[in-house]
Structure 1
């Protein structure tokens, strides 16, 4: 077994998110997701080490000596961070010429040859579900015998081995919590809407929804929701309780945990017996009965992608949710006391000045506790990217510029009736109209008065929020 380093590379200051993050960009409020996509193969490779440089605050100069003695380095990359990640790979190769370096992530899954040939420092890229691909590389198997790999042969020609099928039995994957305990510090990970400290992991992969903009199901996870058994999930939660008694919340990072409602209810009932506080991603169409079962068994918060308050836009992006159902879902959550963090996207196909205002009104009407407003991001490999190129909403030479040199998300799409500057400026307007309401201000102040810890967090986040928009 090769001595293997799994590295989430250093990035720009304020980088939001680990390898599992949906947006590899600097956000309004500084936060960090767990690098679960790296931790999973790391759990398969004995003697490996995971370094999450952004969350730990490590610079490239600090990471290089940490890599000494490793024979293999696996770097997670993304479209926004790719150029800098290549520089990290080149620095590693220059310092340790014999080290083999591979890249993983959605970026290399959709553009394996382009990613491989970006630099001679990159020895291979692992496509699709790369857990066992990486394990087999670490075992020293010949590249040509490993499915899901793209590499150069002895003559320098690019070789693509056969596609690796998805993992059907998710229970064969070991717990990432073991890697978290060994290599990470849970206090380094924080998100404004989750209790601190928290731990997150996946109970399944893939998403049945067909949202045209969503990256992971269209590149790595697929549109089948392949899941771990309820018993397997609960055993890992028990391990979290044992390893990290200080953890205040567990977050299930599946694209849509509620896609399988009977399973969600079964897991909830088992979690209720553990007395654990938990949260998850959900679609805005969960039945009241399922919401109640989850609430009664420790559910605190749902992360919900509403995206837009205009039904035509939701249809355009194949969201699969009706606004009347989403409104009822919001009412049910309020009635049950379930906190909701709502996410919205501006600039999707069909967006106009009027639909932006319509979405803002919708957000205020359903009134989630907190919100996140993002710009439509046409990631390569998504239908939205293909659609944008074909319709001239995105110039191909600009398609790599999803963030600027400071890591702030840019408005990449531009329409004849609505240019990218107007879309970009509407994000700040959305936040101001939503949060600077007397009722919302009173709600936040009440939350702060009840909890000194929350007061400290909200004050810090408020400063970060205002500073972000001044710099933006």
Structure 2
């Protein structure tokens, strides 16, 4: 079967493969790693696949239509997000119209997984199925021609009724999956100001055992069990990626949390394997701020770890409890001190608008961020995505002010607060995000430290670029 994978554009700079769907202030564009793994799985079954990353390359609707007509697929898989869902479904409609219905249209992604029924109704007959949650083997079943009634993990319409088949069990042995089909992409189409570009993402495990009420992927897509690949399999992929893209400058381990204490022996094996195999590449990872073992941090540094992207979320312990973060501000602070001692940079992620948030807790978070020995930060209004505990709580209490899915982003399609509390208005949340960024980045001491601490030519260039982007952001306000 000929299968077209489509990640449609929703305007230049809009990222559809990150955990939060929007244009970032720095126009970051994340790799389609989960999609690329699904493509590789279908190609292993001898299906002819083509991938259009319209989001990364800003490919227009007209251009996409031309590629579609030239390829004439038997099946189209469309990646959809909350703000872009109506736009995404116009591509499904186009596919059906161009081939007079003789094509199977399937939608994937967190939004469609959480809102399968709404998605099918919105499609108005142009969508055959939603592949819910982890979709690698679900898509393979559809492409193999199996009857929908026999396929787990899909939602579809039959005789005017919407049918939801039982959830498919998660893949336990991730070593069974092939490496992503990266030959369909150009690494230069993807960018992050915090990374050494061109970089590539690598997922060593799926799911997260954290219970954070707002976190989308564990609750909607990949579950609260951390299913991980063997160290040998991970090391093999690193070498494969470097060979495939000789100009690659960095790897980003995109697991929800790469450094879970419970699996620290595996992390050590990966680090030691990188050293033993003499793999020379810088890497970053998503980390939980709980490691208090300086020897482990130094091992990570020796193995090439340059930076950790860390979800601190708040500087108020009560708010952290409301988020079910399961960690204290004191432990977070100790983590950052040890990370600095080990020579690993920390990028801190904070949110405004958590359950119970007040002006007092917001100020506490802003001061906490500025007090930590970290290099960069991002502040965002906490977004309530369908399928999460936070979304359900906000909906039950009528805190969501967005009137439709498009309003999950602002008029520039940038992320914004969409909730309004009695104790903190939506407007106050958005203003607090700006104030937090100014408070962190415009401190004289911070500016001086960044000027004096560049570690390489890349760091100098990245800091200058980041300064320009932040300046543009400030001028827009």
TM-score normalised over the length of structure 2: 0.93
* Equivalent residue runs for 1:282-321 within 5 Å: 282-288=287-293, 289-321=295-327
Q: Which of 281-290 and 83-92 deviates more?
A: 83-92
Say whether 1:122 aligns with 2:124.
no
Given the superposition, is the C-alpha separation of residues 243 and 157 from structure 1 closer, same or farther in structure 2, using an over 3 Å criterion? same
* Equivalent residue runs for 1:146-225 within 5 Å: 146-153=151-158, 155-176=159-180, 179-180=181-182, 182-225=183-226
Q: Deviations over 1:346-393 (max 9, x none)?
A: 111121112111111111111311111111101111111111122232
Say whether 1:279 aligns with 2:308.
no
The 2-side partners of 1:391 and 1:158 are apart by: 28
Structure 1 unaligned blocks of 5 or more: none
* Equivalent residue runs for 1:329-344 within 5 Å: 329-344=335-350
Question: What is the CA distance between 1:455 and its match in structure 2?
Answer: 4.3
* Equivalent residue runs for 1:52-201 within 5 Å: 52-68=53-69, 69-97=72-100, 98-119=102-123, 120-153=125-158, 155-176=159-180, 179-180=181-182, 182-201=183-202
Contact 2:203/2:255 (CA < 8 Å) preserved in 1?
A: yes
Given the superposition, is the C-alpha separation of residues 22 and 381 from structure 1 closer, same or farther in structure 2, using an over 3 Å criterion? same
Contact 1:398/1:412 (CA < 8 Å) preserved in 2?
A: no
Q: Deviations over 1:21-62 (max 9, x none)?
A: 111111111111101121111011122122211212211111
Question: What is the CA distance between 1:76 and its match in structure 2?
Answer: 1.0
Say whether 1:417 aligns with 2:423.
yes
Contact 1:12/1:406 (CA < 8 Å) preserved in 2?
A: no
TM-score normalised over the length of structure 1: 0.94
The 1-side partners of 2:349 and 2:459 are apart by: 21
The 1-side partners of 2:97 and 2:13 are apart by: 27
Question: What is the CA distance between 1:242 and its match in structure 2?
Answer: 0.8
Question: What is the CA distance between 1:307 and its match in structure 2?
Answer: 0.4
Residue in structure 2 matched with residue 345 of structure 1 by the alignment: 351
Q: Deviations over 1:10-29 (max 9, x none)?
A: 1122213x42x111111111
Question: What is the CA distance between 1:442 and its match in structure 2?
Answer: 2.1
The 2-side partners of 1:467 and 1:193 are apart by: 17
Give the secondary structure class of the aligned counterpart of 2:346.
strand
Contact 1:31/1:192 (CA < 8 Å) preserved in 2?
A: yes
Say whether 1:251 aligns with 2:236.
no
Q: Deviations over 1:168-203 (max 9, x none)?
A: 111111001xx11x2110111111111111010211
Question: What is the CA distance between 1:85 and its match in structure 2?
Answer: 1.0
Q: Name the count of aligned residue pairs.
A: 464
Question: What is the CA distance between 1:423 and its match in structure 2?
Answer: 0.6
The 1-side partners of 2:394 and 2:202 are apart by: 32
Give the secondary structure class of the aligned counterpart of 2:370.
helix
Give the secondary structure class of the aligned counterpart of 1:118.
helix
Structure 2 unaligned blocks of 5 or more: none
- The CA RMSD over aligned residues, in Å, is 1.7
Residue in structure 2 matched with residue 262 of structure 1 by the alignment: 265
Contact 2:82/2:405 (CA < 8 Å) preserved in 1?
A: no
Give the secondary structure class of the aligned counterpart of 2:354.
coil
Give the secondary structure class of the aligned counterpart of 1:210.
coil
The 1-side partners of 2:357 and 2:458 are apart by: 39
Residue in structure 1 matched with residue 383 of structure 2 by the alignment: 377
Q: Deviations over 1:91-150 (max 9, x none)?
A: 332333322211011111112111112112111100121110001111122211111111
Give the secondary structure class of the aligned counterpart of 2:338.
helix
Residue in structure 2 matched with residue 41 of structure 1 by the alignment: 38
Contact 1:28/1:469 (CA < 8 Å) preserved in 2?
A: no
Question: What is the CA distance between 1:396 and its match in structure 2?
Answer: 7.5
The 2-side partners of 1:460 and 1:278 are apart by: 20
Q: Which of 126-135 and 111-120 deviates more?
A: 111-120
Contact 2:214/2:384 (CA < 8 Å) preserved in 1?
A: yes
The 2-side partners of 1:300 and 1:255 are apart by: 18
The 2-side partners of 1:339 and 1:188 are apart by: 25
Given the superposition, is the C-alpha separation of residues 63 and 365 from structure 1 closer, same or farther in structure 2, using an over 3 Å criterion? same
Say whether 1:235 aligns with 2:208.
no
